[in-house]
Amino acid sequence: MTWWVVALRLTGLGWYIALCVVAGILIGIGLDKVTGLSPLFTLIGIVLGSVAAFWGVYKMILPVLYGARHSEMTGKGRDK
């Protein structure tokens, strides 16, 4: 994996986290309006959005980490 592919992948992580958390909040606010339970679903949405965001980040980071380890072990991918 080249350095710019890694850079683009890591740049997208911030947007992914923001979108997951905002989606959880918006869904929670919508459910609060429907049910009338004002802070309950918003708080649940924040928690579920955060968990989904960090789980997704974990899954996205694994190939980057293992790709870096693989290139270190084999000696490939070094800039000269």
Write out the two tokens for 47: 């928690």
- Look at the pTM and tell me if it is higher than 0.85: no
Number of C-beta neighbours around residue 55 at 10 A:
11
Q: For 18-65, how does the pLDDT look when each residue is reduced to its tens digit (9 = 90+)?
A: 999 999 999 999 999 999 988 999 999 999 999 999 999 998 888 777
Closest to 9 (Cα-Cα) out of 73, 62, 48: 62
Q: Pick from 1-5, 11-15, 41-45, 61-65 the range whose average pLDDT is largest.
A: 41-45
